[in-house]
Amino acid sequence: MVHNIKNWVAASIIPQIIIVKWWGNHPESIEKYYSNGIYPWISGFFRVLYGWIPFSIGDILYFSISLLALRYLWKHWLKIKTYPLLFLRNIIFVLSIAYFTFHLLWGFNYYREPIAKRFALENRHTDTELLALTEALIQQTNTLQYAITKDTAQAVVVPYTKKEILDKTLIGYENLGNAYPFLTYGHPSIKTSLFSTGLSYMGYGGYLNPFTHEGQVNGRLPVFRFPVVAGHEIGHQIGYSAENETNFIGYLATIYNPDIYFQYTAYAYALTYCLSDLRRNDEAKFKELYAGINPGTRKNFMEMARFWQSFENPMEPVFKSIFNSFLKANNQKQGIKSYNAVVSLMVTYHKDHPVE
């Protein structure tokens, strides 16, 4: 009886994939019935359930599953070697349950309508528009850096603990939700990951656990980048899966925060993406504009570069490749490069909302 159930559940992964891909071709339906239908209730339930706990239940869940998997391999190694097809069936059985649970709890958001449609934004920008925004961001970043330090050569030191940053992030989301109700965030569940060192070696700033709906931020990140990453992970929680979209939401939530340190980190964050985009097409112009950034801000940029360099390791490209394949399998055709697609959203948004 148990074997028959496992066989049926394992075999169900095929029709599951067909159904997901079929419904994924109807983003309007997913937007209406899932992303704005059952998903807010699902996510809200889990955020209420786990949000009050100061540590990550999702991290513990992943760690426990990993230990159980290793224990199973150790305990049943002889049986696995003797009956490899049975072992393969068991793997597919587990994957089938995980696939179903993932899409029910969060994964269908990968197929929803793009956020650009909600904002009535274009998905493209011209070089002239990119240049104009980059120059505006440099001016704004320089202004905020000097307002904070009174010295153009001094790096900005954000004076908050990471717990305080997580709390203050909610203020930005409250303001953002007042301006754009579809980005309203309630029942907060945003935490630092118990495995922040591991995330650093993997090259990740954070992640959303789709099974517990906890937003996980890499606690090793320099505080200079922490506010925007926290905003990014909350963007996933409210139902946006595409990385460029959550980059954009995290940026907006941070500039909507009245705190000058948050605004500085947000504009500096946007500036790095715009400069990177500009550099690919015009190295000379990039160097010219980069030279116009206050030395203090350039020191903040170097702080981030040194942080990631300190965690470089041979396995990082492997982790990035796995994540790239995961994104492509879930309707993000650009894979990990989709993070950089935030530039078009920012450029077209600031056409109607100039940087001030």
The boundaries of the domain holding residue 10 are 2-111
Model pTM score: 0.92
| 67, 92, 111 - which closes a domain | 111
Residue 207 sits in the same domain as residue 245: yes
The total number of structural domains in the chain stands at: 2
C-beta of residue 217 within 8 angstroms of C-beta of residue 191: yes
Query: Quick one: 159 and 189 in the same domain?
Result: yes
The residue out of 58, 90, 111 marking a domain boundary is 111
Model pLDDT for residues 28-62, shown as the tens digit of each residue: 999 999 999 999 999 999 999 999 999 999 999 99
Under the banding of pLDDT at 50, 70 and 90, the label for residue 315 is: low
Same domain, 225 and 257: yes
Q: Do 106 and 138 share a domain, yes or no?
A: no
* pLDDT tier for residue 82 given thresholds of 50, 70 and 90: confident
**Residue 46 in tokens:** 């889990």
User: CA 356 to CA 152: how far, in whole Å?
Assistant: 19
Whether 124 and 261 map to the same domain: the answer is yes
- Percentage of residues in the chain having pLDDT higher than 90: 73
Query: According to DSSP H, which parts of the chain are helical?
Result: 2-11, 13-24, 27-29, 39-50, 57-75, 77-82, 84-105, 115-119, 127-149, 162-179, 196-202, 226-237, 243-255, 260-281, 283-291, 295-310, 316-329, 342-352
Same-domain pairing of 100 and 134: no
Looking at the fold, whether 177 and 272 belong to one and the same domain comes out as: yes
Q: Are 36 and 138 in a shared domain?
A: no
Higher pLDDT, 356 or 57: 57
Per-residue confidence at 5, pLDDT binned at 50, 70, 90? Answer: confident
Average pLDDT, the chain: 90
Are 200 and 306 found together in one domain? yes
- Whether residue 337 has pLDDT greater than 70: no
Q: Does residue 318 have a pLDDT over 60?
A: no
Q: Does the pLDDT at position 356 exceed 80?
A: no
For 132-181, how does the pLDDT look when each residue is reduced to its tens digit (9 = 90+)? 999 999 999 999 999 999 999 999 999 999 999 999 999 999 999 999 99
Is residue 4 over pLDDT 70? Answer: yes
Q: How far is CA 82 from the centre of its chain?
A: 42
Using CA atoms, how far apart are residues 126 and 93, in angstroms rounded to an integer? Answer: 49
Residue reference for tokens 């007042």: 178
Helix (H, G, I), strand (E, B) or coil at 209: strand
**Number of other CB atoms surrounding residue 187 within 10 Å:** 16
Q: Which residue has the tokens 């239940």?
A: 57
Alpha-carbon separation of residue 92 from 64, 81, 99, 101 (angstroms)? 20, 17, 10, 14
Domain end position, chosen among 82, 111, 140: 111
Q: Please tell me whether residues 313 and 346 are part of one structural domain.
A: yes
Same domain for 168 and 223, yes or no, is: yes
The answer to whether residues 169 and 198 belong to one domain is: yes
